[in-house]
Structure 1
């Protein structure tokens, strides 16, 4: 199906700062992601995030992949190769694509979550397929490119619209959203060159196709140096 064209803005706070020239071509998106990562000089500590503590809980819309052995196998293979770098690998049951933050549990009572879900359901796009392509990164992580971006942007825009109707403000507008799937988080400041060198050798691995049929509203937390969550509701797309 043709997806609506959602224009993206360049912004130095986003990564990559500029969007790819084509949001539907996996080869163009992967090359763009890889070139952006290859230009990074210094990586930063992903976990250095003010406002997050062991007791922090927040609600997010995410895509999770509990039944994708091919993705799990690709992730493990990449993580094993990268292990000498001392990154923090994402566990198999922690692989995800973050879409948008809904709110903290301190400001969003459980009784309001039914409204969040009900507002989203009629706006959700149809199910879609994604390709997860090895391997690129950001200033704080090593990650798979996911493509095409068009359906993920449509989903992000729908969720943002549903939140706005409830008076909830998405932290990041769709115009600045950059879909990705992290495999390992960087845990200290370091020169990027050794990480880039290790990542480059994995780019010949075959991609994995993913069938996205649901979106998850989750309560997210951090445990040590990993993200964990409880699913509030898995909502079918379409």
Structure 2
């Protein structure tokens, strides 16, 4: 399987119990407490206004409780001057497929058809307030097991079409961002702003679809076009 850590993953290692909400939340927060300096999320090599990349993502259209909850958190952290993610842009990134210049449209269509046969059943997760990473403020998420199973299924689908997995399943750190840091700054003020929000109630989210999108950056905001929506089979869970 390879190493279970990666210097680009945050937190560096997964939590000891990735399905227990309290354990996941504490693990994410403790990792952030050890961070001394925020980085500019947008300062990413390889990205430009012309970049177009295919990704598998979970998006949350119509999830009004999550959107309203996120807006309240964004209002609370507004003095930090971060770039808030609009309600329509809330998402969980699962897997990078590749640049549009490298993956033909026909392959994308075939990939979506294969993924439809591979994906697991629908499941419920919880968005847990609130934590941060080196470049963003975000919800922790639990349980991880169904998310990792979905990531593994999408990876298998990609392998069927000679699309290499950009990141192994065991290196995925599920989360939902609400605001991006747009400059280097000490973390102390971020921790002070986020800490009171950790007492808020978690939000249940039913995951019944995964979307294959073409992602782009428009100024300091992500935008995407949905190319395929793959339904997860209904579940009683």
Which bracket does the TM-score occupy, shorter chain normalised?
Answer: over 0.9
- So what's the TM-score if we normalise by structure 1? 0.95
Count how many residue pairs are aligned between Structure 1 and Structure 2: 233
Contact 1:8 1:174 in 2 (8 A): no
Corresponding position: 1:120 with 2:115: yes
Contact 2:107 2:161 in 1 (8 A): no
Among candidates 72, 76, 82, match of residue 81 of structure 1: 76
1:18 matched to which residue of 2?
A: 13
Secondary structure at the residue paired with 1:203? helix
1:27 matched to which residue of 2?
A: 22
Among candidates 91, 102, 118, match of residue 97 of structure 2: 102
Contact 1:220 1:230 in 2 (8 A): yes
Corresponding position: 1:48 with 2:53: no
Among candidates 135, 149, 158, match of residue 154 of structure 1: 149
Q: Structure 2: where are the runs of 5+ without partners? A: none
1:135 matched to which residue of 2?
A: 130
Q: C-alpha deviations, 1:103-127, integer Å up to 9, x for none?
A: 1111112122111111211110100
Among candidates 147, 156, 164, match of residue 169 of structure 1: 164
Q: Structure 1: where are the runs of 5+ without partners? A: 1-5
- So what's the TM-score if we normalise by structure 2? 0.96
Q: C-alpha deviations, 1:124-175, integer Å up to 9, x for none?
A: 0100001001001110100000110000000001101110121111211112
Once the two structures are TM-superposed, the CA of residue 37 in structure 1 deviates from its matched residue by: 1.1
CA–CA distance in 2 between the matches of 1:197 and 1:53? 33
1:221 matched to which residue of 2?
A: 216
1:182 matched to which residue of 2?
A: 177
Give RMSD over aligned pairs: 1.3
